[in-house]
Amino acid sequence: MTHSASKGSLPEGVNVAKVDYDNEESVVSALRGQDALIITLAVTAPPDLHGKIVKAGAKAGIHYIIPNVYGFDVQNMPKDDAYTAVTLQRLKEVTDAGAAYIAMTCGFWYTWSLALGDQWFGFDIKNKSVTFYDDGKTKINSSTWEQCGRAFGSLFSFPESGASPSVSDWKNEAVRISSFRISQRDMLDSLHRVLGTTDQDWQISYQSTEQRYKDGKAEMEKGIRTGHAKAMYARAFFPDGTGDFESKRELDNEVLNLPKEDLDEQTKVAVEMVESGWKPF
């Protein structure tokens, strides 16, 4: 389902329903007869759009709504982070509408975040520079697009209820998956293996996560678009383990029968994205 004015392209074979989000019946009609709704919105989407889609989904009889919560662990949100209030509000929108949620806890997308630039994972691959948060050794969980897709494909292949595993096991809970538990140091080492470089070929700088978080928030207040990324990613790398949900609760990788991925293969994809001039914005 996408906005009627969207110019985005989707793979051949995908059924696309173009809707007018300001016309609730347009959205309800598109969703009627479906069992699950996965919401993915840009951070630039209107603040009320998520709630509109949720209400329409509930009216259409959707059983499970996967809200847009940016991959955070919804049971372990940092109280001081700007995205905590947004995340909890989106969960509440689902339950208030009378539906159930399943929150995707997957961490940040790996290839996307590595390829985007300094404000995300701290890397500028094109110019071979990296800003390490603190010492660069704090580990977080990160997932690939493919692993997220496989997770939902597996989850919704289970019966809705009954013997475990069933979809209802995750009702109003999080499904926790991860491709890699990884630090920036691990990422740089993978880039060295892919590119044939060493630390001497890179410009490596350091900044405390606390200062970087403050800088990102200040940039947001000034209207600098990438400030939100800088703050959000820095907060995940705080040494309090915010981004390392695997160390707190067991992952669902095994029950979902997810494969173990190759880090260097995914790093190579990120490098190829940069070299191709990929620009998602």
CATH number at residue 237: 3.90.25.10
Mean pLDDT calculated for residue range 33-48: 88
The pTM of the whole model exceeds 0.85: yes
Mean predicted confidence (pLDDT) in 138-164: 94
Encode pLDDT of 159-214 as tens digits.
Answer: 999 999 999 999 999 999 999 999 999 999 999 999 999 999 999 999 999 999 99
Q: With respect to residue 189, please indicate whether it lies within any of the assigned structural domains.
A: yes
The answer, yes or no, to whether residue 43 has pLDDT greater than 80, is no
Looking at the domain assignment, is residue 278 inside a domain?
Answer: yes
Q: How does pLDDT run across 201-259, given as a tens digit for each residue?
A: 999 999 999 999 999 989 988 888 888 889 889 989 998 888 899 988 899 999 999 99
80 — pLDDT class (breaks 50, 70, 90):
low
- Looking at residue 71, its pLDDT comes to 83
- HSE-CB for 120 with a 13 A CA cutoff: 17
In a domain, 42, yes or no: no
Checking if the pLDDT of 115 tops 80, the result is: yes
Report if residue 202 sits inside a domain. yes
Residue 83 has pLDDT above 90, yes or no: no
Q: How far apart are CA 244 and CA 238, in angstroms?
A: 10
Q: Residue 209, CB half-sphere, CA atoms under 13 Å: how many? A: 21
What would the DSSP string read from start to end of the chain?
Answer: -EETT------TT----EE-TT-HHHHHHHHTT-SEEE----TTS-TTHHHHHHHHHHHTT-SEEE---TT--TTS--TT-HHHHHHHHHHHHHHHTT-EEEEEE--EEHHHHHHH-TTTTSEETTTTEEEEETTS---EEEE-HHHHHHHHHHHTTS-SSSSSS-GGGGTTEEEE--SEEE-HHHHHHHHHHHHT--GGGSEEEEE-HHHHHHHHHHHHHTT-TTHHHHHHHHHHTSTT-TT-GGGTS--STTTTTPPPPPHHHHHHHHHHHHHTT----
Chain position carrying tokens 């985005």? 8
Look at residue 76 in the predicted model and tell me its pLDDT.
75
Q: Which domain holds residue 227?
A: 107-143+179-248+259-281
| Total domain count, the chain | 1
154 part of a folded domain:
no
In a domain, 48, yes or no: no
